[in-house]
Each structure stands twice: as structure tokens, then as C-alpha cells.
Amino acid sequence: MARNLVGALQRHHTVEIASRFSSRDGTGNARHQERIAAIGENLAARLVRRWRTGDPANNPGNNPGNNPGAPDAWFTYHVYHKAPDWLGPAVSRALDIPYFMAEASHAPKQAGGRWDTGYRGAEAAIRAADGIIGLSGADAACVLPLLSDPARYHRLAPFTDTAPLAHAAGARARHRRDINSRFAIDAETPLLLAVGMMREGDKLASYRVLADALSRLSGHGWSLLIVGDGPARGDTEAAFAALPAGRVTFAGAAAPEALPAYYAAADLMVWPAVNEAYGMAMLEAQATGLPVVAGRTGGVPDVVRDTESGVLCQIGDAVQFAAAIAGLLDRPDRLEAMRTRALAVTAAENDTAAAARRLDEILRGGRKARAA
């Protein structure tokens, strides 16, 4: 999504990556967070000096642009208690420019906890923002109370470049033949697809829910193709080991440009989405016309339109998940209607062009409001 945001912004604005500094602390170590904050403060000061003096020597964070011109606005992606923004508020305040952020989240339960330094930093940044762009409806409830003016919060649908995905949908029959041939999958069997990293935590939990659900579908014909890899590959394979031989195929990791063919070839995407933010793979799948069965969590409802382009289930409920899959496999007419709907909705509402126009509107509005 960060790459998508840069691409969308570039349609109407010049974008410079100011720094590659990472503020994330995944351990909950208070001293580490304080060191990160101090590094961020120093980098912010160097950026301000660079833009005030036009001196490329003040170029922190391996910035490739070396553009000495001061920016008209600052834009930060994905601020939360584990990854606060130690640069944007300081730079925008010093240069008197608008400060925007996308996908900010706030979790009051983290106050006083292991990430308290990051929590307080993220909260201060959210309060300072001239505009916050919400990509997930789940974030709004806790972010809005921090804003003096709720009009500073703007919703933006998750988006991607739908053109190559729609193109893949037009070649669905060819992609299906290729996938069936490459992985020796029965051409007459409905093809289920799961796409996800294999790592401990929520991803592995999602794979385990999926394996449990599929174990309840012995009376249905299906094949599952899993695209993904990672450090929990062994545990993921173990989760599916009890399923009938030949029904589950592990394709391994795939390059982003290869994914449209996988989406187009399948009949149904299945992903339990345990604690998923919103799931770009599910959005990409629908942009090829692939319906989705997913868990109802986080921003997933912003991506999967329940009963229209897919079915949402109670998070972690393998019984309900199995029933949703069976219900669609038993109704190919409904599956086809969802395929048509998914293509139409994503093209209209989730394409980069629409997002670029909306972002331009938000940024120009924020600058105007600040100047007033």
C-alpha cells in the first residue's frame, strides 16, 4: 500500500522520499523506543537544516533525491504505537507546512504499557496532523476523538492498479489451463486459492483456521492452491497434513507480477484473515473477478463486500468458514454473479486513478485550510 500511495500521489504531485528511517520497535523495549525517538529528533533537525539552507550535505536517511527545495507538505504512512512518526510533526512545524498521514491507528489500551513511548509519540503525531487518510473503517473510532476537528479525517478506499488484474481476468481460461498443468490439478475440480506469508502469529493462525474448515468439506470436490512462503512454512504444511493427499498444493512464493494469473485461474479465494488490516491480496483477487471468503475483521469489510463480491465470516470460526465455502461451491450461479460484481466494483471504486483524484483533493483542501 505504501508503494500504491506513492504512485497515486505522483499522478498530481512531485513525491520525494525524505528518509528511509524506520521507527518500528517490535519488542516493546522502552529504552530502545527512547533511542529511536532521539534518532528521529536528530534526523528531523537535519532535514529542516537541509531544506532551509539547500545544502545536500544535510541529507539523512539515504534520500536518493537530494532535492534542496523545501517541500509543500509532509506525508507519512502507517502510524501506530509500534511505529510512531518522529519526523513529520517536527519537520512540518519547523517549516510551517501541512502534515498528512495515511492509515493511522490508536489503541488506548497501550497507554502505560510496553510501547508507551511509541504510543505517546503516535498520539501526538495524530493530534498534530492537518489531514488523516483512513484506509480502514476500523481505525476511525479511536482516531477521531484525538482530532479537534473531525473534518480532518478522510476516508479513502483501499486501492491498486486494477488494469493488469482486469486484463488477467480476460484470459482466465488460459491461466486456468496453465495452473492446472503446472501443478497437476484436476481441471474439473473447483480451485480454491489462498495467498499469504507464512510466519508465526496471525498468518499461521489464518492457515490453521483454513485447514480446519477444509477438513469439514470432505463431501465436496475441491483443490486448494497456496501461494506464499516464509519461516513458518513447516508449521503451515503440518496444519494441512491431515487433509486427503493431492488436495492441497504449495506453490511457494510468487512475484507480484505473477499473482494476477493465480487469481484469474481460481474459482474462489479463501482466507480467514485473522487480525488482517484489510488485505491487499483480497482486493487484487476481486479485481480479477475472484470472489472471496474471508474473516470479518479490521478493514476487511472495506475490501470484501459481504454477499456481493464474497462472504464474510466470524473471525476464527472454522465451522462457519466451511459453510460459506460449501454454500458457494454448491451455487455456481451465485459464484458467477459475485465474479461479475467484484470486477465492476473494484474497477469503479478501488482503482489508482480514483484514489489519486481523492488524495489530490484532500491535500489541496488541507493546504487551503491551513492557509486560511
What whole-number distance in Å separates Cα of residue 53 and Cα of residue 36?
26
Report residue 234 as a C-alpha cell: 513447516
Q: What pLDDT is stored for residue 65 in this prediction?
A: 44
Model pLDDT for residues 227-261, shown as the tens digit of each residue: 999 999 999 999 999 999 999 999 999 999 999 99
What whole-number distance in Å separates Cα of residue 161 and Cα of residue 145?
33
Largest CA distance in the chain: 71
Q: What pLDDT is stored for residue 361 in this prediction?
A: 95
- Map 98-134 to HEC letters: CEEEEEECCCHHHCCCCCHHHHHHHHHHHHHCCEEEE
Model pLDDT for residues 270-321, shown as the tens digit of each residue: 999 998 887 899 999 999 999 999 999 888 998 999 999 999 999 999 999 9
Asked if the model's pLDDT at residue 58 lies above 70, the reply is no
Report residue 313 as a C-alpha cell: 465470516
Instruction: Name the percent of the chain lying above pLDDT 90.
Output: 88
According to CATH, the superfamily of the domain at 163-349 is Glycogen Phosphorylase B; (3.40.50.2000)
Write the DSSP assignment of 169-210 as a string of letters. HHTHHHHHHHHHHHHT--TTS-EEEEE----TTHHHHHHHHH
Domain residue ranges of the chain, discontinuous segments joined by +: 2-159+352-371, 163-349
Model pLDDT for residues 117-128, shown as the tens digit of each residue: 999 999 999 999
Q: What pLDDT is stored for residue 223 in this prediction?
A: 97
Q: What pLDDT is stored for residue 67 in this prediction?
A: 45
Q: How high is the mean pLDDT of the chain?
A: 93
Block residue for cell numbers 454477499: 307
Write the DSSP assignment of 37-88 as a string of letters. HHHHHHHHHHHHHHHHHT-TTS-GGG-S----SPPS-EEEEEEBTTB--SSH
What whole-number distance in Å separates Cα of residue 62 and Cα of residue 37?
18
What whole-number distance in Å separates Cα of residue 150 and Cα of residue 155?
12
Model pLDDT for residues 315-369, shown as the tens digit of each residue: 999 999 999 999 999 999 999 999 999 999 999 999 999 999 999 999 999 888 8
Q: How confident is the model at residue 61 (pLDDT cuts 50, 70, 90)?
A: very low
Q: What is the mean pLDDT of residues 95-107?
A: 95
Q: What pLDDT is stored for residue 64 in this prediction?
A: 42
Model pLDDT for residues 7-19, shown as the tens digit of each residue: 999 999 999 999 9
Q: CB under 8 Å to 228, separation ≥6 — which residues?
A: 194, 195, 196, 197, 198, 252, 253, 254
Q: Do the first three CATH levels of 2-159+352-371 and 163-349 match, i.e. the same topology? A: yes
Q: What pLDDT is stored for residue 370 in this prediction?
A: 85
For residue 208, CA distances in Å to 65, 98, 144, 174, 263 come to: 44, 45, 35, 31, 21
Q: Which residue has the higher pLDDT, 62 or 245?
A: 245
Contact status, residue 325 vs residue 331, Cβ threshold 8 Å:
no
Contact status, residue 245 vs residue 212, Cβ threshold 8 Å:
no
Asked if the model's pLDDT at residue 371 lies above 90, the reply is no
What whole-number distance in Å separates Cα of residue 58 and Cα of residue 146?
33
Q: What pLDDT is stored for residue 369 in this prediction?
A: 86
Q: What pLDDT is stored for residue 55 in this prediction?
A: 64
Q: What pLDDT is stored for residue 62 in this prediction?
A: 45
Asked if the model's pLDDT at residue 99 lies above 90, the reply is yes
Asked if the model's pLDDT at residue 170 lies above 70, the reply is yes
Contact status, residue 302 vs residue 135, Cβ threshold 8 Å:
yes
What whole-number distance in Å separates Cα of residue 287 and Cα of residue 41?
41
Asked if the model's pLDDT at residue 153 lies above 70, the reply is yes
Q: What is the radius of gyration, based on Cα positions, of the chain?
A: 22
What whole-number distance in Å separates Cα of residue 95 and Cα of residue 92?
5
pTM for the whole structure: 0.85
Nearest 5°: CA angle at 65, between 63 and 70? 95
274 secondary structure, DSSP code: T
Q: Where are the beta strands (DSSP E) in 182-320?
A: 191-195, 223-227, 248-252, 268-271, 292-295, 310-313
Query: Is 2-159+352-371 a CATH 3.40.50 domain?
Result: yes
Q: What pLDDT is stored for residue 63 in this prediction?
A: 46
Q: What pLDDT is stored for residue 56 in this prediction?
A: 56
Asked if the model's pLDDT at residue 66 lies above 60, the reply is no
